[in-house]
Amino acid sequence: MSATATAPPRVRPALTEGMGFSGERIFQAICLIATAVPLLLLLVLVVDVLNDAWPRLTWQFLTSFPSRHPELAGVLAALAGSAYLILLTAAMAIPVGVGAAIYLEEYAPPSRLTRLIELNINNLAGVPSIIYGLLGLGLFVRVLGLGRSLLAGAATMALLLLPMVILASREALRTVPHSLREAGYALGADRWQMLRRVVLPTCIPGILTGIILSLARAIGETAPLITVGALTYVAFLPDSLLSPFTVLPIQIFNWVSRPQTAFHTNAAAGIVILLVLMLILNGVAIWLRVRLQRRYL
């Protein structure tokens, strides 16, 4: 049998190139639609909320306490409570989370105990937030006797954020090439000097990104705070760590649950303020990340 008879038929390059090009264009169109549809829905929702909230977005709304009269109600107590809660949560969660990530990634020897700790951290990152609320209620409110206070709420939110901060910090630490560590050791640096002068400056933009995203999640959480006893109606500012408090999501929920249309308008205005607060927080994170990248990299 001749070679020409057994050789497989050749496919024309023009046909395969045309099919590949057409498939790529279809795939690009699907990706574009998948990106555009959620953005379009988000834009519609934001425009609708802005349209409802615009009459109440005034300075008086920002500087007034909640009231049974919707035209007199404001978000001052909830806004201050959210700010205090986030500051306290960050003060608790960030040092512990970053320190735990550094220890697990740089110092902890490989062992069954280390693997068990890592497995539990990964599992805790997926636990529903209401479980942390029940833990905070039992541990901080009842056992430690903190009551339904700002400190108990911040400690509960810190527990919620710790697994995410640890995981994000560990991923940032892993992005540092081992060659940089070896170069530091070759120059005579010990482990602490190498970590402080080489590893942390290199990965701190990634650590900051993970921390800010975690704090942005904390701003919108409601279930853990309701569980530990955050109030729905607060007509005063927190004056101590043991003071009762409320936050923006709980205040918005309180207004939405009321039948009067005017309270729904207040809820829309509260949603806009919460969105602006999250945008400011993410903007600060981007600014810090870019600045630190220019400084250390």
Q: Tell me, yes or no, whether 3 lies in a domain.
A: no
pLDDT tens digits, 94-150 = 999 999 999 998 888 888 888 898 889 988 888 888 899 899 989 999 898 888 889
pLDDT at residue 22, rounded to an integer: 79
Residues 113 and 177: beta-carbon distance below 8 Å: no
Q: Tell me, yes or no, whether 63 lies in a domain.
A: yes
Judged against a pLDDT cut of 60, whether residue 6 lies above it is answered with: no
- How far is the CA of 65 from the CAs of 54, 78, 220, 262, in angstroms? 19, 8, 20, 16
pLDDT at residue 297, rounded to an integer: 58
pLDDT tens digits, 227-266 = 887 777 788 888 888 888 888 989 888 888 888 888 889 9
Q: Tell me, yes or no, whether 279 lies in a domain.
A: yes
Does the reported pTM lie above 0.85?
A: no
Number of domains in the chain: 2
pLDDT at residue 2, rounded to an integer: 47
Q: Tell me, yes or no, whether 4 lies in a domain.
A: no
Q: What is the mean pLDDT of the chain?
A: 84
My answer on whether 161 and 18 are in the same domain is no
Query: d(Cα 108, Cα 115) in Å, to the nearest integer?
Result: 10
Residue-range definition of the domain harbouring residue 42: 13-56
pLDDT tens digits, 144-171 = 888 888 999 999 999 999 999 999 899 8
Cβ atoms within 10 A of the Cβ of 28, count? 10
My answer on whether 32 and 136 are in the same domain is no
144 CB contacts (<8 Å, ≥6 apart)? 152
Q: Tell me, yes or no, whether 6 lies in a domain.
A: no
